[in-house]
Amino acid sequence: MKPLLRVDNVSKRFGGLVAVDSLSLDVEEGEVLGVVGPNGAGKSTLLSLVAGSQRPSTGEIWLDGRRIDGLRAFQVARLGIGRTFQTPRPFHRMTVRDNLRVAAAARATEGRGRRLDVDAILELTGLSHLADRPAGALTLLELKRLELARQLALGPRLLLLDEIGAGLTGSELARLADFLTEIRELGLTLVIIEHVLHFVMDLADRVAVMDMGRVRAVGPPEEIARDPLVIDAYLGERQERNSPENRPRVSVTAPDAGKGEEAGDVLVRATDLWASYGMVRALNGVGLEVRAGQAVAVLGPNGAGKSTLCKALLGLVPLQSGTVEVDGEDITRWPTERRVRESRLVLCPEGRHVFAAQTVLENLKLGRVASRGARDDRLDMVLDLFPELETRTGQLAGTLSGGEQQMLAIARALMSNPRVLIVDELSLGLTPAVGMRIYERLHRMLERGLTLLLVEQYISEVLATASSVYLLERGTVIFGGDPWDIGEEDLANVYLRGQGYSKKGSPRSSVGAPAIEGG
């Protein structure tokens, strides 16, 4: 039987980053295929390639026997492929009904999509009573329904759903799952990307697991949830955890220690942090402590709030309530640049964000601009730490490999002379070998007295490095304590099965910082 959608040996490169790597995948007509994987696996890029908003670097994409990888997005839509986005994008000032009328006016002109009139779609999606309300007045769940309704108005055969459940509560996800089941009964084919794995597992006929741009496993949900390759893709290969007596400690004479700073002193304390993006709640009363000379890990599946927490500490996202303190001083109202210059909090953001058109050396010097009192030998120090960069100082940053760009991003952050270096998704897009090399450098940073806050989704290596760990789920701290006290089965429950963390004595929710002893 010929598949409805065939992705054949497709790759997509962005400079030195390979987002999709020689990927092949078939989708049968009428099935629900879930696509899961850690952050940066290439899932959304894959949907963009199928929908025509991006073109493959190599490979072919076929819809019902017709090659479509050379078509533009509107041409692909007319063939019967609809796509939703994580953030709904309606016409906010138009009514719900008029939003659907606009979509219906652009209906697929080819293919055999299921065509429904506007009133039927309103009834199906439970939006009839809101038909005359402006889209901007809807709740998040209603906006998600409207996003789906607009795609149904196009008359599609295939729906690509990119994190359609993002930001929804457990009960809202259950209602959305019921709604998607009704849509499936229309005969539509669904490809669902979602960071809440149990949501996908409950809906899908098959699940494809992506990691580092490749499909690692495809099969029935019950098999995928227990596949060792899948568990390693999320949790990483098992590493021996660093026992308390072997963890590196800072001394007052360490080069990167603050003046008068002792190992175990609380440098950063966040208390009861609440933050939202519009109607999407990102942080629910999160508390955290970072102590001198420690590596503190922040873990959690996609959408848990890890990156938002990093940005909140730097003042890059507004807080609805809560406080951030450094050395006991409240810096909650400080602008970001003051936090960097005076408190020496420095963020190495997710996605590296090097200046691609600047050389390696120029990127490093730009890092020193933000510092206060940085020593002249700072450049020698970071090049000694990352010798791979020393021979490439004149090379454009955009031509480096993904691993080299990550090294450059960390080195540039170190040029700012931080006391606390926050690294968001350190292993994103890196091979395990490159990730291990970077973690070796982190150990050397700890020996020099630097304090680290590490946000990771590949968790085995960070648990082998960290002195304390916080586990987030849907913006809430569900565990805070020693890495030795968190079990692999409990992590698998949170990351893969949606069962939550239930170890005795570990909180399922927290509005303050869990008590974590120094050391």
CATH number of the domain residue 465 falls in: 3.40.50.300
> Is pLDDT at 180 greater than 50 in this prediction?
yes
What CA–CA distance (Å, rounded) separates 220 from 514?
38
Domains held by the chain: number: 3
Domain boundary among 417, 450, 469: 417
* 245 belongs to a structural domain: no
> Taking Cα atoms as reference points, which of 364, 462, 456 lies closest to residue 414?
364
**Do 217 and 333 sit in the same domain of this protein?**
no
Q: Residue 184: which pLDDT band, with cuts at 50, 70 and 90?
A: confident
* 467 belongs to a structural domain: yes
Please state, for a pLDDT cut of 90, what percent of the chain lies above it. Answer: 38
Q: With residue 440 as reference, give the H or E element that holds it.
A: helix 432-447
* 296 belongs to a structural domain: yes
> Is pLDDT at 505 greater than 50 in this prediction?
no
Rounded to an integer, the average pLDDT of 14-33 is 90
Range of the domain at 165: 5-235
pLDDT at 286: 95
**Do 413 and 470 sit in the same domain of this protein?**
no
The three-state DSSP-derived secondary structure of 206-269 is EEEEEECCEEEEEECHHHHCCCHHHHHHHHCCCCCCCCHHHCCCCCCCCCCCCCCCCCCCEEEE
Number of alpha carbons in the 13 Å side-chain half-sphere of residue 364: 23
* 327 belongs to a structural domain: yes
**Do 302 and 363 sit in the same domain of this protein?**
no
* 254 belongs to a structural domain: no
What CA–CA distance (Å, rounded) separates 466 from 303?
22
Mean pLDDT of the chain: 82
**Do 150 and 294 sit in the same domain of this protein?**
no
pLDDT at 248: 46
Within 80-205, strands assigned E span 81-84, 158-162, 189-193
Distances (CA, A) of 390 to 365, 386, 400: 14, 7, 13
* 255 belongs to a structural domain: no
Residue with tokens 């019921």: 178
> Is pLDDT at 170 greater than 80 in this prediction?
no
* 315 belongs to a structural domain: yes
Encoded tokens for 214: 């490749």
**Do 290 and 150 sit in the same domain of this protein?**
no
**Do 425 and 444 sit in the same domain of this protein?**
yes
**Do 424 and 411 sit in the same domain of this protein?**
no
**Do 87 and 160 sit in the same domain of this protein?**
yes
Q: In sequence order, what are the beta bridge partners of 513?
A: none
pLDDT at 511: 34
**Do 190 and 215 sit in the same domain of this protein?**
yes
**Do 31 and 131 sit in the same domain of this protein?**
yes
**Do 471 and 335 sit in the same domain of this protein?**
yes
**Do 67 and 98 sit in the same domain of this protein?**
yes
Encoded tokens for 124: 């199906």
φ, ψ (nearest 5 deg) of residue 444:
-65, -35
pTM of the predicted protein model: 0.62
* 243 belongs to a structural domain: no
Domain boundary among 186, 219, 235: 235
> Taking Cα atoms as reference points, which of 236, 200, 272 lies closest to residue 425?
236
